[in-house]
Amino acid sequence: MHSSSHIDLHPIGASLPLRAGIGLKTMHFSQILETLPDVGFFEIHAENYMVDGGPYHHYLTRIRDHYPLSVHGVALSIGGEDQLDMSHLNALRRLLDRYQPESFSEHLAWSSHSDVFLNDLLPLPYTAKTLQRVCDHIDQTQHHLKRKMLLENPATYVEFVESSMSETEFIDEVVNRTGCGLLLDINNVYVSSINHGRDPHNYIKALPLNQVDEIHLAGYHTQADSNGALLLIDHHGAPISNAVWELYDFTLRLTGKVATLIERDNNVPTLHMLATEALIADVHLRNARGDESTPTLLMEQAS
């Protein structure tokens, strides 16, 4: 299955606001409805809501009435050798049909192998063969879901001898061939750059930045490898580091304003703390140039 259609995959009038949003956490459900915090959008992990009923759907339905929504999948295994799991794809379609989110995203990674679910975002080599496979999987996903998806760049700890292209070349080719958008996870850029001795600024400049429709910001924690060199772990359990904020500003100077998620999955703080981190991101966004200020990159996107 080869990608031909860049058209028809773009839902009309549906996009996240150019503001900061936060992850929707169960412990914040009722407080969100009571206080309606001023955040740009909420993001959910798709798989958490692949259940028949109960409080998750009760609260998401009501919260969705008040906020734009991003659905972020973590288990489709787009980078996997196996064929995509049709029951999972169907479950995704039901979820997207039900909540009509402004954005749907998944990862350049794999998480299942031979029917075993490994619950982590695992790395793949970047070769002509894996490129074809990832593009086929994204084509299949976009056609099945009848919408454009965003692909997130990974945080990785090892590289593969067999890789024949860089991660940015791989992503650029995937975006070109499939018409998918890019979810630029700046924490992942920073983590992978430190872990592989790359320059994070050059990495970002090498991406198809005119296709960035969402940004993720998160925290990492630090270890050391066997040489004693810094090894960063993408953990989503800490506040965003200064280095990542700096890289965020660098990115916004190139892209203009982009919807930005404060991602926090471990050591989840109070709703107030998360919303405050989103307000800080909003300040960074306000300082970025807007859509109206002759943005060449955005004009390219429109053409």
Partner 1 sequence: MSSQEIFAQNLLAKDPIHLEGLKTWNGSDPLLRYAVYRNNVIVSLIDALADTFPVTLALVGGDFFRAMARAFIQEHPPKSRVLAWVGEDFPYFISKFPHAYSLPYLADVAQLEMNRINAYHAADVPTLKINAFNILISKPQILPSLKLKLHPSLSLIHSSHAVFSIWAAHHGKFDFSSIDICEAETALIFRNGLNVETLRVTSAEGYFIQHLLSSMGSIESATNQATLYDSMFDVSGIVTLLIEKQLITKYLEE
- Residues forming contacts to partner 1 in the complex (CB under 8 A) are 47-48, 50-58, 75, 80-81, 85, 88, 110-120, 122, 124-125, 157-162, 195-198, 223, 225-227, 229, 231, 233
Beta strand 260-262 pairing with 212-217: parallel
70: β partners:
43, 103
Half-sphere exposure of 191 (CA within 13 A, CB side): 25
Name the residue nearer to partner 1 (CB basis): 139 or 234.
234
On whether the CB atoms of residues 104 and 152 are closer than 8 A, the answer is no
On whether the CB atoms of residues 275 and 22 are closer than 8 A, the answer is yes
Residue with tokens 């300040």: 283
Which of 162, 151, 60, 141 shows the shortest CA–CA distance to 101? 60
The b-or-e profile of 234-248 (16+ CB within 10 A means b, else e) is bbbeebbbebbbebb
21: β partners:
261
On whether the CB atoms of residues 89 and 76 are closer than 8 A, the answer is yes
Characterise 256 by phi-psi region: left (phi > 0), alpha (psi -120 to 50), beta (else): left
Query: Rounded to 5 degrees, what angle do the CA atoms 22, 92, 10 make?
Result: 75
Please report how close the Cβ of residue 193 comes to partner 1 at its closest, in angstroms.
10
The H or E element spanning position 151 is strand 150-152
Please report how close the Cβ of residue 58 comes to partner 1 at its closest, in angstroms.
6
Name the residue nearer to partner 1 (CB basis): 66 or 113.
113
Written in H, E and C, the secondary structure of 248-298 is: HHHHHHHHCCCCEEECCCCCCCCHHHHHHHHHHHHHHHHHCCCCCCCCHHH
